[in-house]
């Protein structure tokens, strides 16, 4: 008896196709939102965990691991102390260390952090698994006053290659103390990465030393005692200290030994952290926001299903005689019950299927934009087990909701019998 009932449900829905289509659209849109949030969330989490990859240790002055991660990778907050150049050199030259990337922070340009580093950054920095930094235009800094912009910086401020920029002292958005006498030329613009790299202005370590050469305790020396941009080129620009550095080991196995050695370093209080561990700690904090987004999406789906419930319930009264006719030809009350549950199930199933199509269409269409603007890489993969579970739950919820009109129709048919009440 399942077939005739399903068949009837299909035809009855087709008969009310305008309402049915609207209901299906509402469900489809809400399901697309839910799936989209889920996909973006997965992509964002992966992107976050891969903000920096291939780095075995992050080393800075002793503070908290999250603090170190925040300022060295996310350019948030400030270091409480620096790492001396001598200590950096000692660790960088250790035989087990393959490479190091020095990081020197403290200045900014129109709200974006300026980071001093060296060429090993462009060579060894990895994100999103094994992705390397790529240049959209230009290349790494070669001259002392060359700067390399992250993608967001160039896009937001509308900079092109060759433009001249001035770096401000300190990290405030509005800084009155600027390194006006030593302007930088934009030598390269990086492709978007979806990481804090996009929001960073990169210069050489020597440049950081050069622009601070005539500064003392946050103030530039008075006129007459200043060192011009060209004079600075002749000085020894080896820095006294850096803010932090990233370490790549020759062999992963040595990472823990090295971490312990750095944390026990006598000459200076240092802290070495494993980026993966610190990143997942940080995600636990940040992840709350995306759970909230998921909850909102779930409520939107609920709203879609409630719309369906309303549509079915309002149709019931005008369909009482249809039910009586079905009863007269031998349909049992449970057939009437099944008919209405089937209608809810069909609406939800078609809605879910349409929602899945919509999601993939949007992902395919939006992928280039997401990648370019936000550096989020959404793989257009099949539905994950979790996705299927979520979609199954939506259909199940619809069937459960269908029980409500079904029960009402069931009661109606019992009291109406063969009487056709109009």
Residues lying near other proteins in the complex (CB under 8 A) are found at 1, 4, 8, 11-12, 14-16, 321-322, 325-335, 417-420, 422
- Which of 235/334 has CB closer to other proteins? 334
Task: Kindly state the smallest distance separating residue 321's Cβ from other proteins, in Å.
Answer: 5
Residue 404 vs residues 85, 308, 320, 341: alpha-carbon distances, Å:
73, 12, 16, 9
Task: Kindly state the smallest distance separating residue 339's Cβ from other proteins, in Å.
Answer: 11
Task: Kindly state the smallest distance separating residue 343's Cβ from other proteins, in Å.
Answer: 12
- Which of 365/422 has CB closer to other proteins? 422
- Which of 4/64 has CB closer to other proteins? 4
Report the distance separating Cα 111 and Cα 106, nearest Å: 12
Residue 268 vs residues 90, 93, 257: alpha-carbon distances, Å:
12, 17, 18
Contact between 193 and 128 under an 8 Å Cβ cutoff? The reply is: yes
Query: What count of other Cβ atoms lies within 10 Å of the Cβ of residue 241?
Result: 15
Q: Which residue has the tokens 């579970």?
A: 389
Closest CA to 350 of 9, 101, 48: 9
Q: What is the dihedral of CA 170, 174, 180, 184, to 10 degrees?
A: 80
- Which of 43/326 has CB closer to other proteins? 326
Contact between 321 and 420 under an 8 Å Cβ cutoff? The reply is: yes
- Which of 16/155 has CB closer to other proteins? 16
DSSP 196: G
Q: CA torsion sign, 272 to 273 to 274 to 275?
A: negative
- Which of 228/314 has CB closer to other proteins? 314
φ/ψ (deg, to 5) at 419: -75, 135
Concatenate the DSSP letters of all residues of 238-269 into one string: --SEESEEEEEESSGGGHHHHHHHHHT-SSS-
Report the distance separating Cα 98 and Cα 13, nearest Å: 67
Task: Kindly state the smallest distance separating residue 325's Cβ from other proteins, in Å.
Answer: 6
- Which of 132/416 has CB closer to other proteins? 416
- Which of 331/342 has CB closer to other proteins? 331
- Which of 1/364 has CB closer to other proteins? 1
- Which of 17/180 has CB closer to other proteins? 17
Task: Kindly state the smallest distance separating residue 366's Cβ from other proteins, in Å.
Answer: 39
Q: Which residue has the tokens 């971490």?
A: 259
Task: Kindly state the smallest distance separating residue 415's Cβ from other proteins, in Å.
Answer: 10
DSSP 58: E
Beta strands in 73-117 (DSSP E): 83-84, 97-109, 112-117
DSSP 192: P
Task: Kindly state the smallest distance separating residue 419's Cβ from other proteins, in Å.
Answer: 6
Task: Kindly state the smallest distance separating residue 417's Cβ from other proteins, in Å.
Answer: 4
Report the distance separating Cα 55 and Cα 87, nearest Å: 19
Task: Kindly state the smallest distance separating residue 19's Cβ from other proteins, in Å.
Answer: 13
Task: Kindly state the smallest distance separating residue 350's Cβ from other proteins, in Å.
Answer: 17
Per the structure block, which two tokens stand in for 406?
Answer: 């079904």
């Amino acid at each position: 008896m399942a077939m005739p009932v399903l068949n009837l449900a299909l035809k009855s829905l087709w008969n009310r196709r305008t309402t049915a289509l609207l209901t299906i659209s509402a469900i489809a849109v809400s399901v697309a939102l839910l799936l989209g949030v889920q996909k973006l969330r997965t992509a964002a989490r992966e992107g976050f965990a891969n903000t920096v990859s291939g780095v075995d240790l992050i080393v800075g002055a002793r503070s908290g691991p999250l603090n170190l991660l925040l300022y060295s990778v996310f350019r948030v907050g400030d270091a409480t102390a620096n790492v001396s150049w001598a200590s950096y050199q000692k660790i960088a030259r250790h035989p087990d260390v393959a490479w190091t990337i020095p990081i020197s922070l403290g200045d900014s340009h129109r709200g974006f952090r300026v980071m001093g580093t060296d060429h090993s950054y462009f060579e060894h920095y990895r994100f999103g698994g094994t992705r390397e930094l790529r240049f959209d235009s230009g290349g790494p800094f070669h001259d002392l006053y060359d700067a390399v912009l992250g993608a967001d910086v160039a896009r937001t401020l509308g900079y092109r290659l060759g433009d001249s920029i001035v770096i401000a002292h300190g990290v405030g958005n509005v800084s009155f103390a600027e390194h006006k006498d030593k302007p930088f030329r934009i030598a390269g613009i990086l492709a978007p990465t979806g990481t804090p790299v996009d929001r960073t202005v990169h210069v050489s370590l020597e440049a950081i030393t050069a622009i601070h050469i005539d500064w003392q305790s946050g103030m530039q020396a008075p006129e007459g005692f200043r060192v011009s941009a060209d004079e600075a080129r002749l000085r020894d620009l080896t820095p006294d200290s850096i803010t932090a550095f990233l370490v790549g080991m020759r062999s992963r196995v040595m990472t823990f030994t090295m971490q312990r050695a750095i944390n026990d370093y006598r000459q200076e209080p240092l802290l070495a952290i494993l980026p993966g561990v610190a990143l997942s700690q940080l995600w636990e904090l940040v992840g709350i926001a995306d759970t909230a987004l998921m909850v909102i999406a779930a409520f939107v789906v609920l709203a879609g299903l409630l719309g369906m419930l309303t549509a079915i319930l309002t149709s019931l009264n005008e369909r009482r005689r249809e039910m009586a006719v079905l009863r007269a030809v031998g349909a049992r009350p449970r057939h009437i019950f099944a008919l209405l549950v089937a209608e809810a199930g069909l609406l939800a199933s078609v809605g879910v299927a349409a929602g899945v199509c919509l999601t993939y269409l949007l992902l395919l269409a939006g992928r280039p934009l997401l990648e370019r603007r936000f550096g989020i890489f959404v793989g257009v993969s099949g539905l994950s087990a979790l996705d299927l579970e979520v979609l199954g739950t939506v259909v199940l919820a619809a069937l459960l909701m269908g029980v409500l009109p079904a029960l009402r129709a069931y009661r109606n048919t019992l009291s109406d019998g063969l009487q056709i009440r109009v």
